[in-house]
Amino acid sequence: MRLGEKLKESLKPAVRRLGNWHRHDPAHRPIFVFSTPRSGSTWLTELFLSQPGFRPCDEPFNLRSQQVRVALGLETWTALYDPANEQRIRSYLEGFIYGHRASAFKNLLPTQRHYRFRTSRVVFKILHALEHRIDWVEQALGGQVYFLIRHPIPVALSREVTPRLEVFLEAPFVDHLDEAQRSVAQDVIERGDRLERNVLDWCLQNAVALRNKAARRGLITYEQLVLDPEPVLQRLYHEADLSDLQRMRDQLSRPSRSVSKSAPETAQALHARRQERQWLVEKWRDRIDTPTERRLMDLVRQFGIEIYSAGSAKPHPDFWVPPVSSTHAPHLTTSAPHTGHG
């Protein structure tokens, strides 16, 4: 690394610390976006960041980052599920909500998209923790929760690593699974191929998360965000007390910061007509034969997740956010998806 580049890197912590003046607005709730990797979470998060006053907290529990490990004071994925660390996790998240100095390492640099000097509200993107404690996040931290889910097969096809897969079968997380599910999971870990293991990781994370009422109330599917986004935008605008619906509409067609992980034609499809957007949702089916799809979706069924089924790239209609003009309440506010427990 050249001297000039080293100097720039050494200055970044100070720039992040001094480059943001955050004062929490108690009249507005912090936003928590829960999801699995490769499900469109950056895209959804940036819809919130299009709104005045927001700053991001991107993956605060990604322990592959040394900065996260140091700031959180935890070293292992298992520690994130230890009840003894609940207060530590709460204080850590409150630091971002209230703009404490120790949270500055997650601030944007002035050169980054969505940077603002003055902010009053935080949107968290959480991919690697608290699936079992989403209700607690809503209650203890006063969070507005949204849970973004995408069909398991395209997620599995695009994921390169699943750092927590074995941890899901350790205590205390494994206590959320019944004996049959534990047996299936152990068999896939020991004998399954990469695709099966990736689908299993999706199942373990989402099956537990969907037992939380807050996750079910705030459920949004990636497929609807692509194909029929207006009801979703309207819902976010009203529920989260946002200020500029048009900015969200404008942001929707812009590729997210993670678009570099996707093929160029994916970014192009986001700007395209509905027919081409349909391709974006269904393109994974060209890579999977019917027997493989059925086998993978049978694995999903064993974990009680009925949002998706074999033969369709779209979620069941019950999990589609209806138009705001509809006189009927959204299904998800009154009825929970069956997830095998409670």
Tens of pLDDT, residues 40-66: 999 999 999 999 999 999 999 999 999
* Fold of the 3-333 domain: Rossmann fold (3.40.50)
| pTM for this entry | 0.89
CB 108 within 8 A of CB 41: no
Of 257 and 148, more confident: 148
- The more confident residue out of 208 and 324 is 208
Q: Are 229 and 252 in contact (CB under 8 A)?
A: yes
How many angstroms separate the first and last alpha carbons of the chain?
55
Give me the chain's average pLDDT, please.
Answer: 90
The 3-state DSSP class for residue 56 equals strand
- Give 337's pLDDT tier (boundaries 50, 70, 90): very low
Q: Is the pLDDT confidence value at 333 over 80?
A: no
Percent of the chain with pLDDT over 70: 88
The answer for 310, left when phi > 0, alpha when psi is -120 to 50, beta otherwise, is: beta
Q: Mind giving me the DSSP string for 18-49?
A: HS-EE---TTSPPEEEE--TTSSHHHHHHHHH
Instruction: Tell which wins on pLDDT, 274 or 134.
Output: 134
List C-alpha distances in Å: 6 to 2, 3, 12, 14, 54. Answer: 6, 5, 10, 14, 30
pLDDT (0 to 100) of residue 270:
54
Long-range pairs of 308-317 with CB within 8 A, sequence gap ≥ 24 = 308/151, 308/152, 313/151, 313/223, 313/281, 313/282, 313/284, 313/285, 314/151, 314/223, 314/227, 314/281, 315/149, 315/151, 315/221, 315/223, 315/224
pLDDT tens, position by position, 204-237:
999 999 999 999 999 999 999 999 999 999 999 9
Percent of the chain with pLDDT over 90: 81
Give the span between the Cα atoms of 326 and 292, in whole angstroms: 38
Q: Which residues contact 107 (CB under 8 A, 6 or more apart)?
A: 16, 17, 19, 20, 55
Span 65-69, average pLDDT: 96
pLDDT tier at 8, thresholds 50, 70, 90: confident
